[in-house]
Amino acid sequence: MVKKLGLIRTKRVSFLIFLCIALFVLGGCPRQYYIHLKDSSDLKHPVFCLTENSMWCGGSGIQQGIFFVEELNDDGEIIDDAWMIEHESGLGKIYEIRYGEAPEGYRVVYKAKELELNNFYRINGESVIKLFRNESDNKLDYIFMSYSDFHAKLRKKWRAEKKEQEKEQALNENSTQN
């Protein structure tokens, strides 16, 4: 009887180890993908593509359950949800997506708000975009960067502002002492 219990316990442990390995291999880490702005000619409906390629739009798309856009303030804090869609059955493939229009198989969760010039928007938590008018030819243009690059630029800006505040404070202290 003891031998039988030991065998059952060994099988259970083996099964748990197999299950852990299978979950790791099949689930693994999320696949890295990139979001690119493909067409910015229409401010109300820019076109994005999702790809495994870091340099350009290409490939067959990325499996996505949701796609969302959030408006950020100049400090990188989320102000509001700008738009969100989700796949009706949990997961679908997106290659190209026009802002405000749900692709086939997706439904709107948050209706698209109009994008405004000179505001920052975070796309799927991955990328940040800022749309603006080019002063030389008045055409719509954009700055596109990863969310981590965006925060690095903010940290640099915050450090510069802090140094400026410290200088002003030192000057104020010196002027009150004299």
Do residues 104 and 127 make contact, with C-beta atoms less than 8 angstroms apart? no
pLDDT number for residue 50: 85
Residue 41: pLDDT band (50, 70, 90) is: confident
Mean pLDDT along residues 38-60: 81
Give the integer Cα–Cα distance in Å for 111 and 21. 41
pLDDT number for residue 3: 52
Secondary element (H or E) of residue 171: helix 147-177
150-176 residue pLDDT tens: 878 888 887 888 888 888 888 888 877
Encode 53-72: b = buried (16+ Cβ within 10 Å), e = exposed. Answer: eeeebeeebbebeebbbbbb
114-153 residue pLDDT tens: 988 889 999 888 888 888 877 888 777 778 787 888 878 8
User: Residue 4: pLDDT above 60?
Assistant: no
Residue 9 vs residue 55, higher pLDDT: 55
Asked if residue 8 belongs to a domain, the reply is: no
Asked if residue 42 belongs to a domain, the reply is: yes
62-115 residue pLDDT tens: 888 999 999 998 888 899 999 999 999 888 888 899 999 999 999 999 999 998
Do residues 108 and 116 make contact, with C-beta atoms less than 8 angstroms apart? no
State the residue range of the domain holding 83. 34-167
Q: How many domains does the chain have?
A: 1
Asked if residue 89 belongs to a domain, the reply is: yes
Count Cβ atoms within 10 A of the Cβ of residue 94 and give its class: 0-12 exposed, 13-18 middle, 19 or more buried: buried
Asked if residue 176 belongs to a domain, the reply is: no
User: Residue 31: pLDDT above 80?
Assistant: no
CA angle 58, 102, 87 (to 5 degrees): 85
Residues whose CB falls within 8 Å of the CB of residue 13, separated by 6 or more in sequence, listed in order: none
Statement: the pTM of the whole predicted model exceeds 0.75: no
